[in-house]
């Protein structure tokens, strides 16, 4: 069997497969189906300073090639995540977990990251800068190099664990954002978050979700995600976590060739809850098929 271990920001993973935030809950829900310790790690549900109910329903809809969602970061808030969710997870997962953090101001990011940084179970902080900046006119932090850098600098000032910044694809120049995060002290970059999409129900003549627009994810966005991973991985000197439309072991290999050290799987978990387990089990076959003995040898293999 080929070697599947990779190193993400100084922490070794048994394999590069990571369920993406928002598609795997807090982990213990999936532990009822299979031993989630087979995973490299996983990124838990996006966590904010205060509890959030999320957006009105309907907020998830299937469409050709993927799905549109506008869940709205529903979560119990960081205090309850630490006091209730992480203890449940500890009973079924013995590896470090990736804490996904969202916020609507720099102060919120700082508060939430500082608390999660102190949790023994947390290995990495995945900071989602796709959220609207309530003090900056509602534009996403991730659409401006300056705003992205401000969040990174502030979070790094109160944390010691690796900070991986999750980027939005809804920008003109993804490389400029990534470089700004690198210069501000980020330890890694993860991309891409969902693309902004919309569908209309012809019978009702209304958008299929109450929020009108939402995040488009699924197999259809894979080529866009791959392109952005390639661009960013070749522009920064940081480990990159690739994601966006990944649904099989071949996609994982492709992402790694583009420059990803590890690969997150998102929407596919909602289609098949065993998706990540199946991908991990199939990786040795695909590696053998393409003559890959060690996954580390192929990272960034496309010039």
Residue 29 lies in a domain: yes
Asked if residues 194 and 217 have their Cβ atoms less than 8 Å apart, the reply is: yes
- Return the CATH number at 103: 3.20.20.70
Look at residue 166 and give its three-state secondary structure: strand
Overall residue count recorded for the chain in this entry = 303
For residue 207, what pLDDT is reported?
Answer: 95
Residue 27 lies in a domain: yes
Residue 170 lies in a domain: yes
Residue 303 lies in a domain: no
What is the count of structural domains for the chain? 1
Domain extent for 181: 6-298
Residue 81 lies in a domain: yes
Say whether the peptide bond before residue 58 is cis (omega within 30 degrees of 0). Answer: yes
For residue 257, what pLDDT is reported?
Answer: 98
Residue 1 lies in a domain: no
Residue 242 lies in a domain: yes
Look at residue 238 and give its three-state secondary structure: coil
For residue 140, what pLDDT is reported?
Answer: 87
For residue 204, what pLDDT is reported?
Answer: 96
Average pLDDT per consecutive 10 residues, the chain (303 residues; last block may be shorter): 94 98 96 98 97 92 92 94 98 98 96 98 96 69 94 98 96 97 98 94 95 94 98 98 98 98 97 98 98 98 84
Q: How many CB atoms lie within 10 A of CB 12?
A: 11
Q: What is the DSSP letter of 40?
A: S
**Token pair belonging to 178:** 């990534």
pTM (whole model) above 0.85: yes
Residue 135 lies in a domain: yes
Asked if residues 259 and 239 have their Cβ atoms less than 8 Å apart, the reply is: no
Q: Whole-angstrom Cα distance, residue 254 to residue 302?
A: 9
Residues annotated as part of the active site:
131
For residue 132, what pLDDT is reported?
Answer: 66
């Amino acid at each position: 069997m080929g070697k599947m271990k990779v190193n993400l920001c100084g922490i070794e993973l048994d394999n590069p497969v990571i369920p993406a935030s928002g598609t795997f809950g807090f982990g213990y829900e999936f532990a009822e189906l299979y031993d989630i310790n087979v995973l490299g790690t996983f990124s838990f549900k996006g966590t904010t300073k205060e509890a959030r109910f999320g957006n009105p329903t309907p907020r998830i809809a299937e469409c050709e090639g993927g799905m549109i969602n506008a869940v709205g970061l529903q979560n119990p808030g960081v205090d309850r995540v630490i006091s209730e969710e992480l203890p449940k997870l500890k009973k079924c997962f013995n590896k470090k977990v990736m804490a996904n953090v969202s916020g609507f101001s720099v102060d919120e990011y700082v508060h939430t990251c500082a608390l999660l940084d102190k949790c023994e179970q947390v290995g990495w902080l995945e900071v989602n800068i796709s959220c609207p900046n309530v003090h900056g006119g509602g534009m996403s932090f991730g659409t401006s190099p300056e705003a992205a850098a401000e969040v990174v600098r502030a979070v790094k000032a109160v944390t010691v664990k690796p900070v991986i910044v999750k980027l939005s694809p809804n920008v003109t120049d993804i490389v400029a954002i990534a470089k700004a995060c690198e210069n501000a002290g980020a330890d890694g970059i993860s991309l891409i978050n969902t693309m902004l999409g919309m569908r209309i129900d012809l019978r009702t003549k209304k958008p299929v979700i109450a929020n009108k627009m939402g995040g488009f994810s699924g197999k259809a966005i894979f080529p866009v995600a791959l392109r952005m991973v390639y661009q960013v991985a070749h522009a920064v000197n940081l480990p990159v976590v690739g994601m966006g439309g990944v649904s099989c072991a071949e996609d994982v290999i492709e992402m790694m060739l583009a420059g990803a050290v590890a690969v997150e799987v998102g929407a596919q978990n909602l289609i098949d809850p065993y998706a990540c387990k199946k991908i991990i089990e199939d990786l040795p076959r695909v590696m053998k098929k393409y003559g890959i003995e060690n996954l580390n040898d192929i990272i960034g293999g496309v010039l």
